[in-house]
Amino acid sequence: MVHSDRKISPQENRLPPPLQTGLALTALAPMQDVTDLFFMSVIDRYGSPDYFFTEYFRVYTNSGLDKKTLRSITENSTDRPIFAQLIGESIPDLVRIAQSLSHYPIAGIDLNMGCPAPRIYRKNVGGGLLRDPEKVSRILGELRDAVDGRLTVKMRVGFDDTANFDRILDLINRYNIDLLSLHGRTVKEKYHSAVHYDLIAHAVQRVNCPVLANGNVTSANAAATVLSKTGAAGVMVGRAAIRNPWIFKQIRQTLSGQPVSIVTLVEVRDYIERLRQTTTTQPIPERARVSYLKMYLNYIAQGVDAAGAFQHEMRLARTETELFEVCDRHLLSDPNQAFALEPYPGLVARPNCETAREAIVN
């Protein structure tokens, strides 16, 4: 069942209103080094999700509010609500930072319990917290007492197995969490396994708050299928939105029974140009600018040509001139050719954690 005629549940009234009442909720997944102020403004140009989430604020003893991440809140021009995400395990400092952020125009505080990067979970933060339900209980309890507004959680179904899954879902209920964004893999599965949509469906039945299904939501059709499989209140889209910033608009079209907008390669070239503009205001070496753009092009290339010629040539470019010659050759020679709605099979961006910068091919 597609949620195109779905009514908003009482639990969802805890949340800011969606762009289009009656449709499933949509959110851009927080991705470190990607979902900054600039990228959100680019996404907004092509069709915003219902909710944005910041890159995570790293929380530790004497930590402050990262200025770059804070700009995503204070300079947000999208007119869409933005949740401030925290990552950490020091309870007094999580409370301190959450209270500080509460003075800014945020939709709520989000706790990261899902990042699968080894350098993160080895510090017992992000996905590492899923190994310790007692610590999760203490963190959520203290944050719930400290946060007057919405408190949300992004997590995976477990660390290396799902032994703690139900226990943590029950904590979501105990502490009246307002929204659960659930990636249907364990931390150790990273992005390699099939997504366990049955476990997301289980969570939908067990918790009292809306659930956003996360994991392999690669297109509007995939979103509809995931909603049907899970019964979730909506979807959270991460890497697919890097490849296709039109995806949130396309999801709304699909769920409301409208034809999905066809994106042409010349429009993709325009998107790449907008991504390039963020590097022109920063005094960084050319090689760094090229690598920064490749971070995005790794994903975009998955929808340009099935043979992977654009992806291959893009990865070989060493200068901006070379890189944009590749872009123009593949995107402007037949500008009205359609950009693929789904990634072409076999073309992999090779990410290894939610930090998309680690997908750069140098």
Domain boundaries, the chain: 3-255, 265-359
Q: Which residue has the tokens 């697919």?
A: 240
Is the per-residue pLDDT at 4 higher than 50?
A: no
Q: List, for residues 105-122, the tens digit of each pLDDT value.
A: 999 999 999 999 999 999
87 HSE (CA, 13 A, CB side): 30
- If pLDDT is split at 50, 70 and 90, which confidence band does 10 have? low
Residue with the bigger pLDDT between 288 and 169: it is 169
**The pLDDT of residue 362:** 24
**The pLDDT of residue 1:** 37
7-16, 99-108, 123-132, 222-231: lowest mean pLDDT where?
Answer: 7-16
Query: Is 238 annotated among the ligand-binding residues?
Result: yes
**The pLDDT of residue 176:** 97
Q: List, for residues 150-198, the tens digit of each pLDDT value.
A: 999 999 999 999 999 999 999 999 999 999 999 999 999 999 899 999 9
**How far is Cα 326 from Cα 332, in angstroms, rounded to an integer?**
10
Active-site option among 115, 209, 327, 353: 115
Cβ neighbours of residue 189 closer than 8 Å, sequence gap 6 or more: 116
**The pLDDT of residue 149:** 95
CB 266 within 8 A of CB 336: yes
Q: Does 115 participate in catalysis according to the annotation?
A: yes
**The pLDDT of residue 84:** 98
CB 275 within 8 A of CB 42: yes
Query: Is 274 annotated among the ligand-binding residues?
Result: no
Which CATH architecture fits 3-255?
Alpha-Beta Barrel (3.20)
Query: Is 183 annotated among the ligand-binding residues?
Result: yes
**The pLDDT of residue 13:** 63
